[in-house]
Structure 1
Amino acid sequence: MRSSIAVALAGISSFATTAALAQTADPAPQAAVQGQLADIIVTAQRREESLQKVPVAVTAIGAEQLDQLRVTNVRNLAGLAPSLQINTQGLQSNPTIIIRGVASGTSNNAVDPKVGIYLDGVYIGRTVGSIFDLSDIQRVEVLRGPQGTLFGRNATSGAISLVTAAPSGEFGVRGSVSYGNYDAKRAKVSVDLPAFGPLSLKVSYLHDEIEGDYRNLLGGRTIDLRQRDPAFGVQRIADRLGERNVDGVGVAARLDLGDLTADYRFDYTDARATGRAVQSFGVIPDASGQLLGPIIALQPLFGGVTNISTDRLTTVANASSTEHVVTQGHSLTLTYPLSDAITLKSISAYRKFRQNPNIYDLAASGGLRFTTAQLQALLAGNVAGVLDPANAPGPNDSFFSLLTSRSTSQKQFSQEFQLQLTSDAIDLTTGLFYFHENSPATDILGIFQPVANGVVVDTSAVGVIPGLPVGQLPFDINGDGVVDAADSNPSLDSIFGSGITRTRAINDSYAAYGQLTYHLTDTIDLTGGIRYTIDKRENRITAIAGGQGGQLGIGDYKVDYKKATWAAIVTWRPSDRVTAYGKVSTGYVAGGILSGIPYKPETLTAYELGLKTQSWGNRLRANVAVYYSDYKDLQTQNFINGRQFFDNAGKASIKGFEAEVDLVPVRGLTLSGNLSYTDFNYKSFILNGVDVADVARTTYASKWQGRASAQYDSEDLGMGGHLSARVDARYRSKAPLVSTPFRDLSGNIASLENYAFTKAYWLVDGRIGWMDMPLGGGKVSLSVFGQNLFNEHYNPFGAPVLQLVTSYERGRTYGVELGFKF
């Protein structure tokens, strides 16, 4: 393994002589106007350091580039850093973040993410609560590889750190307004107030809305869920899919008392959105598909809409309602220097989010029409009963192959104490960390779920045999001479696993950590770090869907885990312009309980070599990394008959490389590019008791990914202001949508397998504007922009939920933006 990394590094050494590892941001345009790249400061090791000197694979993107790229939240970062991919799982609040082939996981409150997301040093515990919009982001850092020492658990594949701007203490206003196609309106403004003694204050606001790009044929109808849970009420089906309406507020305050500095942050986001349109490529040829197939085939008789097509549909019939998520957070960071060399820091934070009840038509089946009586006849093999006009669906009847509705929330508190020592001989970062969360969730699951006159039928009281009571019958059905459990009329809920599940995740995590760098010589540093984590996890199951199965039923379940994660790094800096390093680092994600089935922690050990250089008078910065990861006890998400399970599938190895170049060939012009390769191979993958490692694949992760951009900023022109133009192109190779190939009941590869991948695609964005024109003591900028200029329709998400379903991302968008600062 080490030799393979050495060979790979040697093969690119001629390039890397002028290269670097820490994947850098686009350089600041005004630095390019001066004819060189700007130095970038990052906190990848929990202290401020130059990007080119830190032995971590990290991309840093500054505020100016974030504005040019129209980045307002984590979701918009897709493709901006090597090995980073971000897909939405239909619902816009639920992304899948992939770093170096390892996906973040699921939104379920019983499962921890594998990519750590941090806001101003505060860990965000749930994926749903992490996609808030911020109007005043100063910098984003994307750290790749395990960050188990300084950042802690749940950063197996890496971490994303968002840093908001601190108040300046001087009066200033800056912001922008824009309008685009799909009636897109966006406005953001930040106001810096004059310092009042030691107190500085900054307030920001953001509004972002866009019309849905799909018309929904079911728009305006209602689905009454009160038969399942009165709290879920009556859900109105959205008229358009893919729409979004967000308001966000941020407050930053700094109290500078000389030795003691207190930084307070508040953020609030109110987001209303509808999920992406979902369509089907076809019914999965398994046992459930054998039952769903006839229902699909009969839809022309009943006026139903199947949403099935191997081409992209332009209208769909999805029974999806508006998702409403409210997120807010508070944090207080106290910094106190004990001396010039020693600093104490305390980070206290409280965050919460609420996701109101909603329906998302994950299986693209909301347009089907079928009744309870027809389902009973189908199960009995009674073709005449299925076709009997007396059993036919009415004008407001419908049928879900899979109905999912969820309501969840989370409250979290975290406290971290940190000590930093900086000296000529050593640098030390050490600390204590505590995290607590309480997250209830209610899930309604309806498999083969009838809806009668707009009301979801409670099939827990409906038996398979019509006209007979549910449960054990008072006569011998099977004729064995004994009336027992075998002589029962099971409910539809019990045989399909439908019903309502209520859970509450209560988790506590304690950790102590330390990382020490010893400056062995003027050019060589030796770094070692360790973190010891104790996780106490509790899952209270107060209701579980009928037939949901698993090893556990209703009850209060507790599991504890203890794990030491560590890192060892050797860094060599032969000159101020070159940094080379080798490192071994580890990551850990705690286990838990999902769907009544416990699963174990997963671990990852990564071996990495990197090189960073900056040359040609600070006009060239190039970056290279190679790595190999040993991945054990993988926590994988599976769907069985529409139900979600988590399991420890087995083992895998991941190897790859990352490269990035920034170049200022002439004054004002910056050329940037990156390329990454990820090779994920399962060593074992146990599915239903069978090792399928030879055919298993990691979902949503592309092997090849690249980006190229050009930014030009002129010098100030005679009439005031300057010209700015930018073009960005991003590439992703094809990626699997499902973890194993589709096979028919005979075991042969099914034709549906042809659609089980996202095809390779390019996305091209552009922007041109007249910037910083003087106006009334301030400056204004006017730009036109376009994203996905070639109108590429790609489908990065898919799921095997009785059918192979997928959703396509929005096509070309464009608009005009007015920026201002005073």
Structure 2
Amino acid sequence: MKKSLGANLRRAALPLAILSAISNSAQAQIEEVVVTAQKRSENLQETPIAISALTSNDMEKRGILDYDDIVKSMPTLSQTPYPSSDLLILYMRGQGVSDPMQVTSDGSVGLYIDGLYISRPQGALFDLAGLERVEVLRGPQGTLYGRNTTGGAVNLITAKPTGEFGFKQSLSFGSRDYFRSLTTVDLPAIKDVAAKLTVLKRNQDGYVKNAGGADFGLNDQLGGRLALRWDASEDLTVDYSLETGTLESSPIYYQSTIDTGLYPGYITGEKPTGKTYRPMELKPSDSEFEGHGLTLTWEASDALTVKSLTGYRELRFDNYQNYAESFTIPTYVFDQIDNRQFSQELQFIGDIGNNFEYILGLYYFKESSDHFQNYFTDLTPVGAGVTDKDRDVTSVAKSQAIYSQVTWTPPVLDNRLELTLGARYTEDEREGTRDYLVNGTAIELNASNDQSFEQFDPSFTANFIWNDELSTYAKVSTGYKAGGSSEGGAPGDFVLSFDPEEVTTYELGLKSEWWDRRLRVNTALFYSEFTDMQLAFGSDAYDLSLIQSYNAGEATVKGAELSVILMPTPDLMLQFDYAYLDPKFDEVIATSGSIFDPAVNASSPYQVGDDIKQLFVLPYAPQDSVNLTADYTFWRSTSVEANATLNYSFQSKVYDSAPAGPAVPNRDFYSRPSYGLLDARIGFVFDLPRGDTATVALWGRNILDKEYRQHVIGTGGASVATPLGPAGFTFTAASWAEPATYGIDLVYQY
């Protein structure tokens, strides 16, 4: 058979392509990434901790715009939107907080901007404009970071003023009237002061249409950031930043997976819908924030750097949620949070000779929060009346700490061994008051609690540098999360509190580069032990919305993390990231005052003190998480470069609540099935005559239009029998994620 002309051309071109790839591969090297995770500028490969980093170039090519995008690109992180659309439930290595709305407790994963802690995740889905890079540190953080967190830390590092004129304008247009404008202006330095201004506007229509009010899933943002850098002297640099923003949004839409027959035309949640089954009253939610940061860096000597980090942040959050009939009865919730936080940190970074390096830090933090919630349910369709609950909580938290880390390189083994000892001492205080009204009647007024805690957390790391391309480390670290109280406890229970949660993590890690730095392989194995784990239980046999937290759990989490980057040619980069989790409850004790206590719930088959671990599972802990990225520059000329990026992320099945263990009937009503998402971007960069550039890029998110549940609430029952019914869940209130979106980016940079 005569071969086609195309087939002959392909055969002829193949050897040339192979020779070209081999020739080009000699020039290919994976980019070095400099991080400051240990308060010094270090190559990521030389930092003996579990850390991942994204540069601004990485984020632009992958379309990473906010925390949600960051989480999807990092398999070790797990997230779901809170019922509010601009608030994330964030977990790392199986550690997190399932209800971040409660201002009387702390999170397990710390969020930072330029090292300044952000205490509340409300408004966390604001666009992260103007970043230089993102660093994600996994495992307990305390001996290097101001706030003690047990799961890890996400640190955003902003691009600082350069002192030279620069301008960048990005415009994006896409599905559902998506629009994004990002303007960045770097101003020439005036004497010793440089300035940088960033202004953002972003909006998109909702993806579930509603004839009676705001659509579900809409987003409208406006924000800006001013950064100033003053080189006060050869030894002193002063950085100041002001950021402010407003975010108007609407919540995600829930559908019940059953049709009770009470509501004609109801659309069940077995499949996503693009519209509500009836007009629904829904106001847009609003977030407003303003943050100030002041960092002074003094190079006191060649062997000592002193830094002062001062932060102040205000947040106002008004959130409206209409659950409609997803719980079989109409349910509406309004939350209003006012938060003010201040932090001051001093760092002393230096070396004292004899191969010793050290970091010493002093930290102070204060947070004041007010949280008002109105919870309204209409029981008329099931033959009862209206329940209208008001909860008003004030919380004040203070934390102060001293921390240190010392690294010694002993004069043996050709100075290839590094031994690091860290320690932290923390004192925390927390006080709160609550008023509780039901149908306008005061059930509880000025209920209060006042707590204080102190904790010592050590860590130790041994790092061995085999050669310039290979190192291995062993690490043991401890962490603690302060105690608190439950906003959502039953009337009379606010005086109850819970103690700190503690974790000890053992970790082995390897960092390596091969094939003349064209292949990078990093991996970590870890084993975490939790004591006094803070768990939330129902505290009322009839009203399952009343939740109390207790120190009831002992758990272990085993896991493995792998990151592989291959760059066979200068034009092709392949990346594979994988995380494996094996969480297990070792013990959960039935506590007094919970629905497992027969004195509260006569239907409970358990006694106070019983081990009920079979009723629990660690939520938001997928067994397998994968991220695959292919970045290919398929065309280069003297003035044009064309690039294509594919990114695939996968997450296996998770449970969205702890009381959904293997012994709970119909536990899968509280689970989210596994899913995978494919994103794509193709961009063309044009070099213009004056040294400026223009970029045109086409992009798509979830281009296969995968239908998946982003958040579920198991309902119709509880993990234990109550007077309302037997144990287990009977249906799901499900929220489906937004469908595929497409768009175009237009960028000009000078």
TM surpasses 0.5: yes
CA distance in 1, matches of 2:442, 2:616: 25
**Hey, what does 2:263 align to over in structure 1?**
299
User: One-letter code of the match for 2:646?
Assistant: V
Encode CA deviations 1:126-166: one digit per residue, 9 max, x unaligned: 12154432320111011111112222545211110001000
Aligned length: 676
Q: Does structure 1 residue 794 correspond to structure 2 residue 718?
A: no
Kept in 1: contact 2:614–2:661 (CA 8 A): no
**Hey, what does 2:5 align to over in structure 1?**
none
User: One-letter code of the match for 2:366?
Assistant: H
Kept in 2: contact 1:33–1:713 (CA 8 A): no
CA distance in 2, matches of 1:307, 1:503: 36
Kept in 2: contact 1:445–1:545 (CA 8 A): no
Q: Which runs of structure 1 show a deviation greater than 4 angstroms over 4 or more consecutive aligned residues?
A: 31-34, 544-550
Aligned to 1:108, the other structure's residue is in SS state: coil
Q: 1:561 to 1:776 in 2, by over 3 A?
A: same
**Hey, what does 2:306 align to over in structure 1?**
344
Q: 1:622 to 1:559 in 2, by over 3 A?
A: same
Aligned to 1:162, the other structure's residue is in SS state: strand
Kept in 1: contact 2:530–2:554 (CA 8 A): yes
2:550 to 625, 647, 651: 647
Aligned 1:55-454 pairs, distance under 5 A: 55-105=48-98, 106-216=100-210, 219-220=211-212, 237-238=213-214, 240-257=215-232, 258-282=234-258, 296-300=260-264, 306-316=266-276, 317=278, 319-356=281-318, 358-362=319-323, 364-365=324-325, 400=330, 402-422=331-351, 423=353, 425-448=355-378
**Hey, what does 2:628 align to over in structure 1?**
708
Aligned to 1:65, the other structure's residue is in SS state: helix
* Unaligned residue ranges in structure 1 (runs of 5+): 1-30, 221-236, 284-295, 369-398, 452-462, 465-491
CA distance in 2, matches of 1:748, 1:588: 30
2:735 to 807, 814, 819: 807
Aligned to 1:79, the other structure's residue is in SS state: helix
Following TM superposition, by how much is the alpha carbon of 1:91 offset from its aligned partner in structure 2, in angstroms?
A: 1.1
Following TM superposition, by how much is the alpha carbon of 1:404 offset from its aligned partner in structure 2, in angstroms?
A: 1.5
Following TM superposition, by how much is the alpha carbon of 1:645 offset from its aligned partner in structure 2, in angstroms?
A: 3.1
Following TM superposition, by how much is the alpha carbon of 1:196 offset from its aligned partner in structure 2, in angstroms?
A: 0.6
Kept in 1: contact 2:498–2:549 (CA 8 A): yes
1:532 to 425, 435, 438: 425
Q: Taking CA–CA contacts closer than 8 Å with sequence separation of 6 or more, which of the two structures ends up with the larger relative contact order?
A: 1
**Hey, what does 1:20 align to over in structure 2?**
none
Q: Does structure 1 residue 717 correspond to structure 2 residue 637?
A: yes
Aligned to 1:214, the other structure's residue is in SS state: coil
**Hey, what does 2:392 align to over in structure 1?**
502
User: One-letter code of the match for 2:356?
Assistant: I
Aligned to 1:818, the other structure's residue is in SS state: strand
1:726 to 645, 656, 675: 645
User: One-letter code of the match for 1:268?
Assistant: T
Q: 1:321 to 1:519 in 2, by over 3 A?
A: same
Encode CA deviations 1:397-454: one digit per residue, 9 max, x unaligned: xx62x33211111000000011001355111001110001111011112244669xxx
Following TM superposition, by how much is the alpha carbon of 1:748 offset from its aligned partner in structure 2, in angstroms?
A: 8.3
CA distance in 1, matches of 2:332, 2:442: 18
What's the C-alpha RMSD, in Å, of the aligned pairs?
Answer: 2.6
Q: 1:205 to 1:638 in 2, by over 3 A?
A: farther
Encode CA deviations 1:182-227: one digit per residue, 9 max, x unaligned: 11111101100001111000000111111111112xx43xxxxxxx
Q: Does structure 1 residue 736 correspond to structure 2 residue 736?
A: no
Encode CA deviations 1:655-679: one digit per residue, 9 max, x unaligned: 0100010111122110101111001
CA distance in 1, matches of 2:365, 2:441: 31
Aligned 1:532-571 pairs, distance under 5 A: 532-545=425-438, 554-571=446-463
Aligned 1:665-704 pairs, distance under 5 A: 665-686=568-589, 688-689=596-597, 690=606, 691-704=611-624
Aligned to 2:709, the other structure's residue is in SS state: coil
Following TM superposition, by how much is the alpha carbon of 1:629 offset from its aligned partner in structure 2, in angstroms?
A: 0.3
Following TM superposition, by how much is the alpha carbon of 1:269 offset from its aligned partner in structure 2, in angstroms?
A: 1.5
1:818 to 728, 746, 749: 746
CA distance in 2, matches of 1:366, 1:741: 19
**Hey, what does 2:688 align to over in structure 1?**
774
Following TM superposition, by how much is the alpha carbon of 1:543 offset from its aligned partner in structure 2, in angstroms?
A: 3.6
**Hey, what does 1:455 align to over in structure 2?**
none
CA distance in 1, matches of 2:320, 2:235: 52
Q: 1:500 to 1:748 in 2, by over 3 A?
A: closer
Q: 1:514 to 1:748 in 2, by over 3 A?
A: closer
Following TM superposition, by how much is the alpha carbon of 1:776 offset from its aligned partner in structure 2, in angstroms?
A: 5.0
Structure 1, 68-77 or 649-658: larger mean CA deviation = 68-77
Encode CA deviations 1:377-415: one digit per residue, 9 max, x unaligned: xxxxxxxxxxxxxxxxxxxxxx62x33211111000000
Kept in 2: contact 1:446–1:499 (CA 8 A): yes
Structure 1, 93-102 or 528-537: larger mean CA deviation = 93-102
CA distance in 2, matches of 1:538, 1:548: 25
CA distance in 1, matches of 2:365, 2:661: 41
Aligned to 1:439, the other structure's residue is in SS state: strand
Encode CA deviations 1:220-274: one digit per residue, 9 max, x unaligned: 3xxxxxxxxxxxxxxxx32x11110011101111000221100011111210001
User: One-letter code of the match for 1:677?
Assistant: Y
Q: 1:267 to 1:638 in 2, by over 3 A?
A: farther
Q: 1:528 to 1:95 in 2, by over 3 A?
A: same
**Hey, what does 2:480 align to over in structure 1?**
588
Q: 1:739 to 1:542 in 2, by over 3 A?
A: closer
Following TM superposition, by how much is the alpha carbon of 1:282 offset from its aligned partner in structure 2, in angstroms?
A: 4.1
**Hey, what does 2:405 align to over in structure 1?**
515
CA distance in 1, matches of 2:574, 2:325: 47
Kept in 2: contact 1:153–1:588 (CA 8 A): no
Kept in 2: contact 1:154–1:587 (CA 8 A): yes
**Hey, what does 1:619 align to over in structure 2?**
518
* Unaligned residue ranges in structure 2 (runs of 5+): 1-23, 591-595, 598-605, 717-730
Kept in 1: contact 2:327–2:715 (CA 8 A): no
Kept in 1: contact 2:484–2:497 (CA 8 A): yes
Following TM superposition, by how much is the alpha carbon of 1:797 offset from its aligned partner in structure 2, in angstroms?
A: 1.2
User: One-letter code of the match for 2:665?
Assistant: I
Following TM superposition, by how much is the alpha carbon of 1:709 offset from its aligned partner in structure 2, in angstroms?
A: 1.1
CA distance in 2, matches of 1:748, 1:199: 63
Q: 1:197 to 1:807 in 2, by over 3 A?
A: same
Sequence identity (%): 29
Kept in 2: contact 1:40–1:51 (CA 8 A): yes
**Hey, what does 1:749 align to over in structure 2?**
665
